[in-house]
Structure 1
Amino acid sequence: MNISIDVNENNAVSEIKVSGEIDAYTAPKLRETLFPMSEQNGVKMTVDLSDVSYMDSTGLGVFVGVFKNVRSNEGEFKIIGLSSRLQRLFDITGLADIIDINSQIEGGVQ
């Protein structure tokens, strides 16, 4: 059970690319990476899950906590690149209604 987390921070913008599986074994590493960033005032955080093959409830818990931190620090939090399986997980739990989720990765400057 592996996880890879690539972080690109530029000023108050954090782009995180997660690959692998998010479960009880890997979620603590994800939490350790995301929580410090989520506590920055006004952070704009985007998490790309397009290379995540599996996620369980511990992963959802990490994202709920990060989302709450970002919101309480007047930031923006978005999850992109969800597979249909992960999209369904967010839909079933109702998190798709409160967290900004895009199944497509936004590209380019408009």
Structure 2
Amino acid sequence: MPEEAAKILTYEIERNGDTAVVKCHGRLVAGTTEEMYQEVKHLLPQLKALVVDLADLTYVDSMGLGALVRLYAAARQTGCDFQLLHLGKQLRNLLKMTNLLSVFGQTEDHGINIA
């Protein structure tokens, strides 16, 4: 059972005016991303800034990375600023391997924190 629990993604969305902070916990992996993506995407037209806090994320696979890229693209389409916070070593390495670090690197000047 502990292994099953480790696979679960949970998240909270905190709104503060026209900014939303999505705090992710657990594993951002295949089968766990679509609900979060859809819920956050629905909010984007109402936001000026979206912050994704990854401090409590333990693992990200290619589907999880895809969800982050999709959120980034959707935010950019609506004119919403996108920030990643507390980027862990595993995700940073994944971004390097996929040459996406430069895409998300634009957020470094605006608050990306690397654990």
Which TM class, normalised by the smaller chain length?
A: 0.7 to 0.9
Distance in structure 1 (CA, Å) of the matches to 2:16 and 2:57? 24
| Residue 10 (structure 1) aligned to one of 16, 21, 28 | 16
Check conservation: 1:41, 1:74, Cα contact below 8 A. Answer: no
Query: Please, which runs of 5 or more residues in structure 2 have no aligned partner?
Result: 1-6
Q: Deviations over 1:11-66 (max 9, x none)?
A: 2101110000011121122212221123x155200101111111101111111111
Identity %: 22
Distance in structure 2 (CA, Å) of the matches to 1:37 and 1:90? 25
| Superposition map of 1:1-110 within 5 A | 1-38=7-44, 40=45, 43-99=48-104, 100-101=107-108, 102-104=112-114
Query: Please, which runs of 5 or more residues in structure 1 have no aligned partner?
Result: 106-110
Over 3 Å off, 4+ runs: none
Distance in structure 2 (CA, Å) of the matches to 1:33 and 1:19? 16
- The secondary structure found in structure 1 opposite 2:55 is strand
Structure with greater helix percent: 2
Check conservation: 2:20, 2:47, Cα contact below 8 A. Answer: no
Check conservation: 1:19, 1:51, Cα contact below 8 A. Answer: yes
Distance in structure 2 (CA, Å) of the matches to 1:34 and 1:12? 13
Distance in structure 2 (CA, Å) of the matches to 1:42 and 1:5? 18
Give the deviation of 1:104 after TM superposition.
Answer: 4.6
Distance in structure 2 (CA, Å) of the matches to 1:37 and 1:92? 30
Distance in structure 2 (CA, Å) of the matches to 1:31 and 1:70? 11
Check conservation: 2:88, 2:114, Cα contact below 8 A. Answer: no
Over aligned residue pairs, what C-alpha RMSD do you find?
1.7
Give the deviation of 1:80 after TM superposition.
Answer: 0.9
Kindly tell me the number of residue pairs found equivalent between the two proteins. Answer: 104
Q: Which moved more, 1:68-77 or 1:23-32?
A: 23-32
Structure with greater strand percent: 1
